């Protein structure tokens, strides 16, 4: 161990905390124990904002779903009409029979 | 690597006062040597003990307790510096050194060295404090700081070179002035 390091060790010796440190720390601990820290609660405006956003997004999703359903119904109707028209044409054509 | 079977000796709340009394110098000194601000060092030290008060039950024995206190103090002091980006706000002469000065071999040199340590880069400063205040080996310092032991050795080596060079310059300057 060289002299310089010894001097450094001497300079960085532990120092006592200021007078009353222990008492102040114990008082803070006791105070904290009496009034435990409240659980983290969101402010009301954050909750209101979250609810509004949920409603808006929910509404948009529902609208998309309804539009999809309507499109599906329209397609089914169109297919049914096309099907019945094809059936009518087939009935008109069938009695004539194949030409010789 | 298998962990040795630990017999949990839970630290009781009743021991809190005794623990604060026993370890306050260690906790406060790490914070003070690093922050060089009396009020901030006390705030950090109190916060460390309050966290201990809240975390009772997780600590197993006295060895673990000392290690825990040291690690939490180091990280809280580093966080404090990062948050406030503070430099020394209280001159070193104002620091609570009265009890120590009487035991120092060379009070002037000690004051000078503390000032030089305070001027070291943050990371090197903590390594020097843990090495020379807490007498920790590089491996132990690495564990506390969560960095490789090789990095600790490098920082320590650079810090010592810097400090030696500064001390030599100061001594030279002193010699010139006295001539």
The CATH class, in words, for B1-95 is mainly alpha
Q: What is the pTM of this model?
A: 0.65
* Average model confidence (pLDDT) across chain B: 81
Q: Where exactly are the structural domains of chain B?
A: 1-95, 100-179
How far, in Å, are A41, A51, A59 from residue A47 at the CA level?
10, 6, 18
d(CA B104, CA B93): 15
Domain B100-179 matching CATH 1.10.10.10: the answer reads yes
Chain B residue nearest residue A3, CA to CA: B164
Report CA-CA distances (Å) from B111 to B29, B97, B150.
15, 10, 30
Q: Which ipTM value was assigned to this complex?
A: 0.75
Residue B9 has pLDDT above 50, yes or no: no
**How many C-beta atoms surround the C-beta of residue B70 within 10 A?**
21
Which of B80-94, B129-143, B147-161 is least confident? B80-94
Determine whether the interchain pair A8/B33 forms a contact, defined as Cβ–Cβ distance below 8 Å.
no
Per residue in A9-42, pLDDT (tens digit) is 999 999 999 999 999 999 999 888 777 656 566 6
**Using a CB-CB distance cutoff of 8 angstroms, which residues of chain A are in contact with residue B54?**
32
Which among A5, A10, A32 has the least Cβ separation from residue B110?
Answer: A10
| Interface contact flag, B128 A8, Cβ < 8 Å | yes
Model pLDDT for residues B14-64, shown as the tens digit of each residue: 688 999 999 999 999 999 999 989 999 999 999 999 999 888 777 766 668
In this prediction, residue B109 carries a pLDDT of: 84
């Amino acid at each position: 161990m060289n002299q310089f390091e010894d001097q450094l060790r001497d300079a960085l010796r532990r120092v006592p905390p200021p007078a009353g440190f222990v008492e102040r720390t114990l008082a803070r601990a006791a105070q904290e124990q009496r009034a435990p820290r409240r659980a983290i609660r969101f402010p009301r405006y954050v909750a209101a904002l979250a609810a509004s956003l949920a409603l808006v997004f929910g509404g948009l999703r529902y609208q998309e779903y309804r539009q999809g359903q309507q499109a599906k119904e329209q397609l089914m109707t169109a297919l049914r009409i096309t099907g019945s028209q094809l059936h009518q044409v087939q009935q008109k054509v069938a009695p004539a029979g194949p030409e010789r | 690597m298998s962990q040795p079977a630990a017999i949990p000796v839970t630290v009781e709340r009743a021991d809190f006062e005794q623990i604060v009394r026993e370890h306050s110098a260690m906790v406060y000194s790490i914070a003070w040597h690093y922050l060089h601000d009396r009020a901030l060092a006390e705030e950090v030290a109190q916060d460390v003990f309050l966290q201990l008060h809240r975390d009772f039950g997780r600590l197993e024995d006295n060895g673990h307790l000392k290690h825990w206190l040291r690690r939490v103090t180091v990280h809280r002091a580093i966080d404090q510096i990062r948050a406030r980006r503070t430099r020394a706000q209280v001159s070193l002469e104002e620091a609570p050194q009265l009890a120590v000065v009487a035991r120092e071999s060379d009070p002037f040199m000690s004051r000078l060295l503390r000032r030089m340590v305070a001027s070291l880069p943050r990371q090197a400063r903590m390594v020097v404090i843990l090495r020379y205040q807490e007498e920790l080996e590089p491996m132990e310092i690495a564990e506390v700081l969560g960095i490789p032991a090789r990095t600790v050795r490098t920082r320590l080596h650079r810090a010592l070179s810097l400090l030696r060079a500064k001390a030599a310059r100061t001594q030279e300057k002193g010699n010139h002035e006295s001539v």
